[in-house]
Structure 1
């Protein structure tokens, strides 16, 4: 969507000293369902806790009050960006809200900007939150709206949110281009010093560029942005859908604001463990299983193709695209990005084949949004690192980083080394004293948590562990492959019944692949 770019950090500092009101810039209680599970199976989905037999009643959808958001038409621009993915002829409107920056040490002070998009004309707002390293939430919501059932869009309009520090919400721009490339193209299992030096430089430059804002890019403050959005939408409760790591934002929101939580579907919660290395081990395993699943769907040995490509890049003449050298690890990063987009698996396989034939451009296209910034769009890596590093207090010494990277590369030969890069990113980042927030609350209404068995970003086992920590979670398990389960008709039907009709799925519902 087209974005205006007002003056950034230095202009904000003039107002940091005052508490600021939130301004708009851009102008039948339902109980648990007796409906049978969508798919019944004698073997229930795995769980590690005993959930209540009768969860608390769902709140009503409610009637929207007076909205204070000044929407403006952005349909033409949105359809142009989506291309064929626009599908049905929906209406799209865009707006900006001003929220409180709330940097550490200066609570309630400063200004931040939030970009939102409304897709469709349903009367009830359904807020959509995407992964921090995925496409901006506004665009993701527009794309998702084109795939959802008519019945759901008759009840809801989707409200996509560019999370704090991403997309049109004052996207973070602070990592120098050369360091950004090093963070994504290096192999920490072969040598830790090069990526560690790049991470130090990135952290220093972000501290200079972001100033007070550096510590304000995190999950907890993003939940405050969502609370601001709820108020401006005129809703008593926030109804929402989270995708991947965006689900954690909504889980933290529900624990912070249980009395403001409405009907929520969390599609692919990340593993909540504090052990980052163990989480990455699970992600690497999920990514390699997804690579095999994608290959099987396409009738190709995609794992063999990727392995052959990385070997050729390691031994042969370097390939470059857009001024960037396609190293083995940058190629693997591109494959990871492609695996997260199930509808583009055929394009990914063709891109791998093209790179093996000497044309790296299609494959580089998958990683380009993460590494390249221009006037219209920031590189996604900057906002990703700021958010991830502010959300964790874990920092590891260099020797332990190196040994863990070697373990990941040995256990997962395709993706282990690339994912080990993430252990290095936060090593020199300032350590935070506060956590992003709990995901567990006894006081929320039932929340549907959907796991995907074979997921390259939020593997099913990690999602189950997250659901086990949420007392009011109702778990739906999809036996398929891909990032997120809304491509499953069975899961979509369960989500529709929950959101529209207030029918709580049976805990442990299984949906076939």
Structure 2
């Protein structure tokens, strides 16, 4: 991507990066006081839920779609038979803080299904691009969903083919992803902060005024522009995990455009960024226990009778000596990150266990292959770390000082032995990042239609308790509780998939607190 020309603004912001970010003025609204003797009228009762919108008309044809079935099947290793795919691009408004409502950026789109009503699918910013998520999800949806809807996946800003944020030096990507997940001393963590600072500076110089335009607030605006281009009155959408932050922001900004939405998990809106990260570390440990029990129950677990002990010993060994691999050393950090993301896909647990067992025998090739999408271009997609770091830091105002990082890393590695340090380090990613001007608001928009929120008992990235709190805080949230394991229940649980499908197609709202067995 060519660099933009606003160099003076970049250099000014770069100075702020090196010097550190200071807290801005209070964002709290002004408080109005009344005369103590003047009676105060009671606050009006909040409006009840809006009626569930109808499906509405089919999408318009303003976007130019081209067949991309062959490329999609090849890139994602999908079956040779099945649904066809079409691809397009949406030109949206960049809307950077330096130039509000100005500039343009592109969003990559993929559609599938024979129905005419659009159903947008969004995935986590740290995972596969939204186009890939939609293509894979379509293979798991019931035929009536594909006959009713046109499933549309969108790569979020800075990810996939949506003007990707490919700006971090490859060496620094490797340093950040491979960093010792159990480091707790100041000297070691300072090395991580150095890699983060260098990466931040390079991204600033490369992206310039686009840097702070990659966030959930503006991605919500991309969805509204997509709705307008599709020429439909309501946006029907499914958000998976962290992507529900974009949909809650959309509901705040465009409440009249909200259609039938489903949140497949979601981060706890009652917690700040640090508390969320701590809860995620605990959820990852809990999901690992489910993975270990599943492996041991198979009778021929390649990790032996005690998978946790095997993996912990592997991590300890590779903290000191990385494993060899053709495309670079495999460190403890890479192993733990591959493990974290692999825990979200129970259908691939045997493959994950085999990769860990090979690493335990000294062969890091399989782990290296699983870690590749994080640190380098794979197929047509750029490294995922860049878009993840940029969007995550633009979505929070938390800037953790180095002294505090040492304390948090020490505490979390003691309580969550595999994943505590990894989530503590994610907090350090933003230490040198410019503080955002906006932060996604809590999901408090009244008058929305009902929104099912799916919770998963063992989710390594979105703890079940956080999803339950999201359902409670949404004025019209309806909890659907899956007692299973994985990141995202739609397509994994027949019970959840059926409930979501009937809601989307027929408008049948699940019963509050509906329980789905594992």
2:360 alignment counterpart: 356
- Asked if 1:79 corresponds to 2:73, the answer is yes
Distance 2:191 2:59 in 1: 54
Inter-CA distance 203–401: structure 2 relative to 1 (3 Å threshold): same
Deviation at 1:318?
2.8
Question: Equivalences for 1:165-314 in 2 at 5 Å?
Answer: 165-187=158-180, 188-190=183-185, 191-298=188-295, 299=297, 300=301, 301-314=306-319
Q: What does residue 52 of structure 2 align with?
A: 58
- The residue aligned with 2:137 is 144
Distance in 1 (CA, whole Å) between partners of 2:423 and 2:324 is 22
Residue from 411, 424, 431 that aligns with 1:427: 431
Q: Which moved more, 1:159-168 or 1:335-344?
A: 335-344
Deviations 1:356-409 (A, max 9, x none): 112111112222111123683311010001001111111121101110111111
Change (3 A) 1:86 1:159: farther
Provide Cα deviations, 1:309-360, integer angstroms capped at 9, x if missing partner.
1123235x43133443222122101111211222211110000001111211
Give yes or no for the alignment of 1:387 onto 2:381.
Answer: no
Q: Which residue does the alignment assign to 1:119?
A: 112
> Which SS does the other structure have where 1:271 is aligned?
coil
TM-score (norm 2): 0.87
1:480 to 478, 484, 491: 484
Q: How does 1:426-445 map to 2 (within 5 A)?
A: 426-445=430-449
Matched with 1:493 is: 498
- What is the CA deviation profile of residues 290-326 of structure 1, one whole-angstrom value per residue up to 9, with x for unaligned ones? 11212222324432332121123235x4313344322
- What is the distance in 1 between the residues matched to 2:265 and 2:324? 34
The corresponding residue for 1:38 is none
In angstroms, what is the RMSD of aligned CA positions? 2.0
SS in 2 for 1:433: coil
Partners of 1:247 and 1:397 in 2: CA distance: 28
Aligned twin of 2:375: 371
The answer to whether the Cα contact below 8 Å between 2:327 and 2:368 also exists between their aligned partners in 1 is no
Equivalent-residue separation in structure 1 for 2:256 and 2:49 (angstroms)? 15
Q: Which residue does the alignment assign to 1:4?
A: none
Q: Bigger shift: 455-464 or 360-369?
A: 360-369
Give the whole-Å Cα distance in 1 for the aligned partners of 2:414 and 2:75.
Answer: 40
Match for residue 447 of structure 1? 451
1:192 Cα shift?
Answer: 1.6
State the distance in 1 between where 2:243 and 2:379 align: 26
Gaps of 5+ in 2: 8-45
Superimposed CA distance per residue, residues 253-287 of structure 1 (whole angstroms, 9 cap, x where no aligned partner): 11211110100011011122453222112111111
**Deviations, residues 59-84 of structure 1 (Å, cap 9, x unaligned):** 1000125221110000111111232x
Give the Cα–Cα distance (whole angstroms) in 1 for the partners of residues 259 and 344 of structure 2. 28
CA contact (8 A) 2:400 2:431 kept: yes
Distance change (3 Å), C-alpha of 1:272 and 1:354: same
Alpha-carbon distance, 1:209 to partner: 0.7
Q: Distance in 1 between matches of 2:249 and 2:372?
A: 31
Would the alpha carbon gap of residues 493 and 146 (structure 1) be closer, same or farther in structure 2, given more than 3 Å must change? same
Tell me how many residue pairs correspond in the alignment: 468
Q: 2:86 aligns with which of 93, 96, 113?
A: 93
For structure 1, which segment, 185-194 or 174-183, has the greater mean C-alpha deviation from structure 2 after superposition? 185-194
The 5-angstrom pairing of residues 386-405 of structure 1 reads: 386-405=390-409
Matched residues in 2 for 1:65 and 1:469: separation? 32
Instruction: From the superposition, tell whether residues 451 and 88 of structure 1 become closer, same or farther in structure 2 (CA, over 3 Å).
Output: farther
* CA distance in 1 between partners of 2:432 and 2:359 (Å): 34
Stretch deviating more after TM superposition (205-214 or 464-473)? 464-473
Range with bigger deviation, 126-135 or 331-340? 331-340
